[in-house]
Structure 1
Amino acid sequence: MSTGAGLPLTRRQRDHQGRLQLSYWLRTASGAEEVVIEGESAVAFLREQDRERATTLLADLTGCTLRPLALSTLAHEPVCGLYADNLAHWYEALSRLEQADIGLMEEDIRPVDRYLIERGIFAGARVIEREGRTALMRDPFLPPLRLLSLDIETTLRADRILSIALQCAEEEVVLFNGSIAARPGLIPCAGERALLLAFTEQVRRLDPDLLIGWNVIGFDLRVLERRARALGIPLCLGRDDQPLRVESSQNGRWYARLNGRVVLDGIDTLKGATWQFERYSLEFVARELLGRGKLIHDPDDRGEEIQRLYREDPDALARYNLEDCRLVTAIFDKAELIPYLLERARLTGLALDKVGGSSQAFDNLYLPRLHRAGFVAPEYASGQGDLDVPGGFVMDSRPGLYRHVLVLDFKSLYPSIIRSFQIDPLGLAMGTRGDAPPEALVPGFHHAIFDRRHALLPGIIERLWQARDAAKREGNSALSQAIKIQMNACYGVLGSKVCRFFDQRLSGSITLRGHQILQQTAQRIESAYGHTVIYGDTDSVFVWLGDDWADRNTDAYGTRLATELNAWWAEQLQERFDVNSALELQYEAHYSRFLMPRMRHSDKGSKKRYAGLKRQSDGSETLVFRGLESVRTDWTPLARRFQQELYALIFNEQPWRAMLQQRVQAVMAGECDDELVYRRRIRQPLDAYTRNRPPHVRAAQQLEQQRRDEGLPPCYRVGDSVAYVMTVNGPEPAEKRRSPIDYQHYIDRQLLPVADSILPFIGESFAQLVAPQIDLF
């Protein structure tokens, strides 16, 4: 009997009355309910040859059993299954077997996850009663989800909460710690204890499915939990009576444990959806995406201003607090983050709050198919790993300033190579077995051979490919992006030791085939069409048509060139490998002017660095930079703006010398100080920098020392961006600069490299042009 369908929000496994219990909170059409699954077992696999020894080791664990199975390893060894009906015995069994060096397979897959993926439940699930037991089955239902945006304001030391703002679609409320005139949406609380109790009550009343915020776990929820613990208040924010738990992993990432509600951090969610920003502060991202920012704009004064508003203008603080909630909600909406997460879940089975997860997504797609084929996954990352496997192909470039350069791009090159050449873990295992007929085999690299009859991954990629094409036709950008990320990840995980299917024969057969395809494409263009290929990078070739190209119907010519090359590749692959080509070369861009710069202090062409005037479909032109200072966040705004202006003038053959000289004069006169700030990220804890202390680290350490002297907590964490300027006494934090700026540093290290990346191609030199101006100072 069906009892309804819903989306699993959170999942939990535990022992209950000595038996494994799986718990899923489902968001249904009418609300949220907990579904409890009984009678399941934790499962792992080991070689049949180890079963007798394992039976002896586990004899006293009555909850564990070993059973022979009609399954094999990828090395064609029979396996048996290890089953445990409770987690306590399960973990003890794994520990004993590992200590005895008995190889285990798929032992890391949590029972609560395995239950879903083996049933093909990636997103929607239907609750059924079968033979007196509750179970879940796959269902396409996806409910609307209720979001609640959270933001808190605290003292500078975060040792007291001043206010808490909550915002959802229908309601906004600010809880204020202290005296303030009550009105709809503004609730005064007599102290921090009352504030936290009111907060808990509001969350229960609003009953969100998703709790969102900016650094909401690492700051807001962590502070809330710490203050609640200090005051002896259980912060029960979930849909059960269990208090909130905020935990940190070994890599420093914070996690929130709430049953029945999903917590999503805006920063992590944006990064996971491949949004990229120079900085990830709420102020910066909001201005970039929404065109508006926080109500207190200056980050240097924000902390002190919040304290002043709390004392002198509490209504203004409440407005500021609430506006931060609104900004986060608007960012989620603008970036379509929730639709993206839902499509990702439906596509891969990843939980909504899963950060990263490429390897787990691959498992979810691949393991059920592998099991149905009669095999289990290998021991974690046990494949061949001592081979010389290069990354993506990067061709030596031909430096120069060109006219009329076309870019031809292979659509999803690595996924198309997997499809074309039948690259697959099971296909490799069957192909190298030695008993397949020759017509079934497709060669790879590093002695890899793939049996096309057993390959699973090409079919997975093909279905994803077709789904992405359909999503594009329907205008479903969220689904299209989710599919693109997953298709590309199918290559990436095979070459990474975080994947159980890691084997360099797999990743090498992909990247080396990519090298071959790019090189032969370039050769074909030069021999058959007489054009020069000046550069190639991973999946693209840059074709110089010639400075004297007539530039008539160039777009049509680029499309025809790609079409003819695709036909040539289809013929080549059929003739040489007896496979159907999935390669799809596309005409991507026409640059009317194009710069391929030299490497610094070398005559060789650079790689992954170029700029050009890209011709748009309406005939207009856009200045494009790749890898150069203009798009690198570790260069100053001064250098980036200077490059954009200088290149635009030169590309368009307009006078540029006066601009260059005026910019040098302005820097030396102190008129560009706001553009001299460097921003670089901290990659490890500050105290870990001992031998090598880069400028941004030295500046950050200075600021942290000043904060310690003032009794304030540290402000920098791993991943944070440090803003600093170069002074006559070295790097100093931008907000606490004490020394005069070293203007000559900015001339030599910011303007000169930018100018001399293009000026030599037109017979000019930065030093000769600016020497008279510098002498004036």
Structure 2
Amino acid sequence: MLYLLSVKYNGKEARAEMYFYDDEKHVLVRVPDYSDHHPYLLTDLKPDELAERYPDVLKHKGFNRLDVVEKYDPLSDRWILMTKVEALDPLSIGGAKDSIREQLKGHAWEAKIKYHHCYIYDSNLIPGMPYTLEDGKPKIVLSPIPEHIEKLIREMVKDKTELAEYLSWAQILNTPIPKLKRIAIDIEVESPQGIIPKPENAEKPVIAVAYYASDGQKGVLLLKRWQEVPEIKLGDAKITVFEDEKSLLAAAFSLINAYPVVLTFNGDNFDLPYLYNRAKKLGFKPEEIPIEWSPKAEYAELKNAVHIDLYAFFTNRSMRVYAFGNKYREGRTLDEVASALLGIGKVKHDEAISEMTPERLVEYNLRDAELTYKLTAFNDDLVVKLIILMMRISKLPIEDLTRHNISAWIRNMFYYEHRQRGWLIPNPEDILSIKGQTSTKAIIKGKKYMGAIVINPKPGVYFNVVVVDFASLYPSVIKKWNLSYETVRCPHEECRDNKIPGTPHWVCKRKRGLMSEIIGILRDLRVYVYKKGAKASKDEQEKMQYEVIQSALKVFLNASYGVFGAESFSLYCPPVAESTTALGRYSILKTMEKAVKMGIPVLYGDTDSLFLWNPTQDKLESLLQGVLNDLQIDLSIDKEYKWVVFSKRKKNYLGLLKEGKVDIKGLTGKKRNTPDYIKNVFSDIIAELSKADNILVFEKSVEKVEEKVKDSLKHLKKHEVPLDQLAFKVALTKSLKEYTKTTPQHVKAARQLLEYRKKLKLVPPDVKLEEAVPEGEIIAFVKTRNKEGVKAVQVARLDEIDPDKYIEIMKTTLQQVLDALEIDFEDLLEGKTQTLF
């Protein structure tokens, strides 16, 4: 079977190429376009009008032909005739100053869609799906839907037309996912401690290349830089030593060419550009380098493989929050992501990479490649499965899916649906001019409309608290109320009385909206089919499959409404986003009214959840069923707390879940640049609170928190905290000489470090600033009482530390937790004791 992974434009052959993964031979198969497809745009000008008004279009060197096509205009709800202007290459349509798009400004539609995406739409291709080739033409292979899944769908959907749509999506989601043969690559470059070499310069030699593959191959290609290299044994890894760097790179390129999929972590920005530029410096011929890269390139590509950069994928907020449950904070480092998801991090080291022993370097390098590979392999290839499923939903090739954010995924999904239905894809300015702006006033500065509701908490400690949560609240109201950019404020006079509560907007009664239909189907499949199927299944493999499917759907659904309120989104429609949040507020207030009438105290509410105090099982079940009947939205139990403490501030609480984990709204204590000492105090407080499973232990835990904070403050005041525990660590993002207008604290410290290095003759006295303390170096500094207010750790003394500055940082870090516990930080600072009890 051939699984479609990518589509690219081949400039030399002037046509699209499809890249399939052969799951039997485990190779990449390149298939050129068979249909003579060409780039194009649409215009509202008739062919003779176009020829008369814009004769240069027909004279353009890239012009191919004109055609008249019929399109449905969703904004006016009518079919119209458009002129299709076809070109010989994508740049002739758009991207160059004299492009056809530029000449037809104000009269061009669908002119900014990337050509390879356009090809996917028009060829009815679904990336991630299996195909067979018949006379060079790909034919999709769909697997039968499991009987129990089809039964769930048929019980839920009665309309025959709708049923066909649901079953079609289920087939796509249920089709098996291949095991991709892949290799993870990681390089090490000779460089001083804390300095990241620039890949565009590639001045320093590559001293090691580690690899870790799905077929069991793993090892390190090591450059000989020592007089004697001992025999290195590291499990079953193969260690190969090279006398010269060119031979090492040639071996690395052979490995890259041997696998259909190559994994990196930040390989777009470092590993692959560095290898490319270094190879050019060493005299490799262009055809000998398997990497395609230029400074203007969106990402680094491979000639004979698909490149997946996991850095962009794991920093994607939607993946972090909805697929991985916020287990890591930002995902900007391999160590952070791997530690959170795999339970193992990078090899720790104090010395510079170039100063490592051969054994240490091999261990360090191989671990990075291993972590990169295992991030795609843990939980039975979970990440690979998520990627393939989300390719199928979004219709994006694998490189675009893994490197772009969720709004690009959703945009592409809707564009694909437009083309399948023969709809004209509107220009953003058309939507805005017809639909207008918002009417509600935003509470949060910078927002354009009123967002979700937050019900003020009742301060205090509460035991036995149940949190009920709307299952996909916004997707649910989008489906129920038929919200879509073409249905909200539709052009039909008879629909104007179909008002959306809390807004002046109305919604169409004639037609089902595209957004409502697609989001509704995905929401129903997730909530009523795959979540239910996962719970009911007794087969572990099947259960895991359904969990992955519902997780992929969750990522899309949780971002589906917000994009329509983002100006950067090409289908931006403010009234849709405003209507969605208005209906969300309406739903939660109606639910709150119902709970209060039933005698269930509501302690707090935020966006799509309510905190209920000690409800009986009967009343809870009655509430859930009542909401389903009245609002047609599922309300379910999300969390159960042994206790919750609310402060007077919104969105500020902490509680102990029944499973023993402390849950805090917003982990302010774990900011990346917070000194370790303060981070550790925060962690100790959380650990102490997690022991409190009843009222008596809770009281004692609060007292211990007070003591812990007081002791920590005392150590700060007495200058008893080691410098390294107080250090802030910030990277130089540009050369020292470029900081002219302002001088940030880490730059002040960097300049002190330069003088320190000169004084100890660690660098020549006439050395350039950018060479002595180069861009990319991590600067460790502490806050002091000297004139500049900071000192590099290397030149600071304990007695110079300014305790007041650290006390202020500690206050900011701990304030959220202490406020909830009604502990006054100022009292602790003065040695007083005052708690809830």
TM-score scaled by structure 1?
0.81
Alignment of 1:242-253 (within 5 A): 243-248=290-295
1:7 paired residue number: 3
* Other structure's SS at 1:293 match: coil
2:387 is aligned with what amino acid? Answer: L
2:39 paired residue number: 42
Say whether 1:126 aligns with 2:131. Answer: yes
8 Å CA contact 1:245–1:258 kept in 2: the answer is: yes
* Other structure's SS at 2:508 match: strand
Alignment of 1:17-166 (within 5 A): 20-28=14-22, 29-30=24-25, 31-38=27-34, 39-48=36-45, 52-53=49-50, 56-61=55-60, 63-76=63-76, 78-87=81-90, 89-91=92-94, 95-118=99-122, 119-129=124-134, 134-135=137-138, 137=140, 140=175, 142-156=177-191, 159-166=204-211
Say whether 1:535 aligns with 2:588. Answer: no
- For 1:585 and 1:724, locate their aligned partners in 2 and report how far apart those are by CA, in whole Å: 50
* Other structure's SS at 1:369 match: helix
Superposed CA RMSD:
3.8
Alignment of 1:331-730 (within 5 A): 331-334=375-378, 336-354=382-400, 355-380=403-428, 382-384=430-432, 386-388=437-439, 389-390=448-449, 392-398=451-457, 400-404=459-463, 405-428=465-488, 432-434=490-492, 445-451=503-509, 453-469=511-527, 470-472=529-531, 473=534, 474-476=543-545, 477-526=547-596, 528-543=597-612, 545=613, 554=615, 556=617, 559-560=620-621, 562-567=623-628, 570-571=629-630, 581=632, 583-597=633-647, 605-616=648-659, 621-633=660-672, 635=674, 636-641=678-683, 643-644=685-686, 652-654=698-700, 655-656=703-704, 657-673=706-722, 675-678=725-728, 709=769, 711-712=771-772, 714-716=774-776, 724-729=781-786, 730=789
8 Å CA contact 2:186–2:211 kept in 1: the answer is: yes
1:47 is aligned with what amino acid? Answer: D
1:524 is aligned with what amino acid? Answer: K
Q: Determine what percentage of the aligned residue pairs are the same residue.
A: 21
1:578 paired residue number: none
Deviation at 1:196, TM superposition (A): 1.5
8 Å CA contact 2:653–2:817 kept in 1: the answer is: no
Q: Given the alignment, which residue of 213, 222, 225 partners 1:168?
A: 213
8 Å CA contact 1:413–1:514 kept in 2: the answer is: yes
- For 1:466 and 1:493, locate their aligned partners in 2 and report how far apart those are by CA, in whole Å: 20
Q: Given the alignment, which residue of 238, 242, 247 partners 1:185?
A: 238
Q: Deviations over 1:58-95 (max 9, x none)?
A: 22247432322221433435422222243454346982
8 Å CA contact 2:735–2:775 kept in 1: the answer is: no
Would the alpha carbon gap of residues 634 and 153 (structure 1) be closer, same or farther in structure 2, given more than 3 Å must change?
Answer: closer
8 Å CA contact 1:174–1:322 kept in 2: the answer is: yes
8 Å CA contact 1:411–1:585 kept in 2: the answer is: yes
Deviation at 1:750, TM superposition (A): 0.9
1:577 paired residue number: none
Q: Deviations over 1:430-457 (max 9, x none)?
A: x622255789987884434234523122
8 Å CA contact 1:164–1:175 kept in 2: the answer is: yes
- For 2:662 and 2:11, locate their aligned partners in 1 and report how far apart those are by CA, in whole Å: 61
- For 1:483 and 1:760, locate their aligned partners in 2 and report how far apart those are by CA, in whole Å: 35
Q: Deviations over 1:712-733 (max 9, x none)?
A: 574539xxx9765433343445
8 Å CA contact 2:190–2:207 kept in 1: the answer is: yes
1:270 is aligned with what amino acid? Answer: F
Deviation at 1:693, TM superposition (A): 6.3
Q: Given the alignment, which residue of 318, 333, 336 partners 1:281?
A: 333
- For 2:516 and 2:84, locate their aligned partners in 1 and report how far apart those are by CA, in whole Å: 28
1:424 is aligned with what amino acid? Answer: S
1:395 is aligned with what amino acid? Answer: V
8 Å CA contact 1:44–1:83 kept in 2: the answer is: yes
Would the alpha carbon gap of residues 294 and 646 (structure 1) be closer, same or farther in structure 2, given more than 3 Å must change?
Answer: closer
Deviation at 1:416, TM superposition (A): 0.9
Number of aligned residues: 712
* Other structure's SS at 1:109 match: coil
* Other structure's SS at 1:427 match: coil
Alignment of 1:251-262 (within 5 A): 255-262=299-306
2:805 paired residue number: 745
8 Å CA contact 2:253–2:290 kept in 1: the answer is: no
Q: Deviations over 1:18-76 (max 9, x none)?
A: xx411122111222221001411213222246871366342224743232222143343
8 Å CA contact 2:501–2:586 kept in 1: the answer is: no
Would the alpha carbon gap of residues 646 and 702 (structure 1) be closer, same or farther in structure 2, given more than 3 Å must change?
Answer: farther
Say whether 1:294 aligns with 2:293. Answer: no
Higher strand share: 1
Instruction: Name the stretch that deviates more: 332-341 or 505-514.
Output: 332-341
Deviation at 1:401, TM superposition (A): 1.6
Structure 2: gaps of 5 or more residues: 143-174, 192-196, 198-202, 440-447, 535-542, 758-767
8 Å CA contact 2:499–2:507 kept in 1: the answer is: yes
8 Å CA contact 1:410–1:540 kept in 2: the answer is: yes
8 Å CA contact 1:48–1:68 kept in 2: the answer is: no
- For 1:372 and 1:631, locate their aligned partners in 2 and report how far apart those are by CA, in whole Å: 47
Would the alpha carbon gap of residues 10 and 588 (structure 1) be closer, same or farther in structure 2, given more than 3 Å must change?
Answer: closer
Structure 1: gaps of 5 or more residues: 546-550, 574-580, 598-604
* Other structure's SS at 1:44 match: strand
Q: Deviations over 1:201-249 (max 9, x none)?
A: 2333xx212212332232221221111111121365xxxx774123456
Q: Given the alignment, which residue of 359, 363, 367 partners 1:323?
A: 367
- For 1:756 and 1:129, locate their aligned partners in 2 and report how far apart those are by CA, in whole Å: 63
* Other structure's SS at 1:425 match: coil
1:653 is aligned with what amino acid? Answer: E
Q: Deviations over 1:280-308 (max 9, x none)?
A: 4333443344343334x13xx342xx323
- For 1:121 and 1:248, locate their aligned partners in 2 and report how far apart those are by CA, in whole Å: 31
Instruction: Name the stretch that deviates more: 733-742 or 365-374.
Output: 733-742
8 Å CA contact 1:58–1:64 kept in 2: the answer is: no
